[in-house]
Amino acid sequence: MIMIVGVIGSLITVFALGYMKDFQQHAKDQPDNRPFFFFVMYIFLAAMFGLVTANNLLFMYFFWEVTSFCSFLLIGYTKTEEAVQNSFRALWMILLGGLGMAVAICWLGIVQHTVELSQLIALGASGINVALPACLFVFGGLTKAAQMPFSSWLLGAMVAPTPTSALLHSSTMVKAGVFMIIRLSPILGENQPGVMAMFVGGITFLFASFAAISQSNGKKVLAYST
């Protein structure tokens, strides 16, 4: 995951140098906010590295929310009415998943006296009932991964400049949710969080596939297939 974020994220930022120059030339009515755009992109990538490497759930949650806030700023970069509406939609949907994660962390700290992801997995593997926090973490992952019924924020992100949509799709934002569920996979199975992940993922795969093949817009095809 570090390789994916580092290599693909770097390629996107290099591509963005030329793209944003052309974008600014075509959008002469808008102020030149390219320094701010690249600042947010690099904060986003730095937070992704922190999210991937963190074992302490408090640190992971902090970086998780940093990526959420950065995506809000990137989606709403052009500040058009549509971009602002879509950025706020993405923010509240992803923050809803973050709220679930916060509740899970509080439950673990109060009941099991730990805020370590490795300890959560060890507890679940030893037979201790950790279905509630696992479900909440899976829920957070599903919202971040734009699974149904939270997929609309990803479609809305298409109004942003292409480097933003590339960053949200390919290497980082959506994959953070997938990464969270993969980290939890040792305690997922024939239990509530495992069934929830499989059911939501399966339904999303089915309906998004039908939606993707019915689109002619390249960005929408990419969004639905993601």
* pLDDT value of residue 171: 59
- Identify the burial level of 94 via C-beta atoms within 10 angstroms of its C-beta, where 0-12 means exposed, 13-18 middle and 19 or more buried: buried
* pLDDT value of residue 116: 83
Q: What's the token pair of residue 13?
A: 């930022």
In the chain, DSSP finds a helix count (H) and a strand count (E) of 11, 0
**pLDDT tens profile 5-38:** 888 888 888 888 888 888 777 766 677 777 888 8
Q: What's the token pair of residue 191?
A: 């239990």
* pLDDT value of residue 138: 86
- Identify the burial level of 217 via C-beta atoms within 10 angstroms of its C-beta, where 0-12 means exposed, 13-18 middle and 19 or more buried: exposed
> Mean pLDDT over residues 203-207, rounded?
85
> Mean pLDDT over residues 69-88, rounded?
80
Q: How far is CA 111 from CA 59, 97, 122, 134, in A?
A: 19, 21, 15, 14
**Model pTM?**
0.80
* pLDDT value of residue 184: 85
**pLDDT tens profile 143-198:** 887 788 777 777 777 777 778 877 876 657 788 888 888 888 888 878 888 888 88
* pLDDT value of residue 170: 62
Distance CA 190, CA 226 (A): 26
Distance CA 210, CA 205 (A): 9
* pLDDT value of residue 36: 85
**pLDDT tens profile 31-73:** 777 788 888 888 988 998 888 888 888 898 899 889 888 888 8
Cβ atoms of 12 and 166 closer than 8 Å: yes
Distance CA 213, CA 46 (A): 35
**pLDDT tens profile 91-116:** 888 888 888 888 988 888 888 888 88
* pLDDT value of residue 119: 83
> Mean pLDDT over residues 66-84, rounded?
81
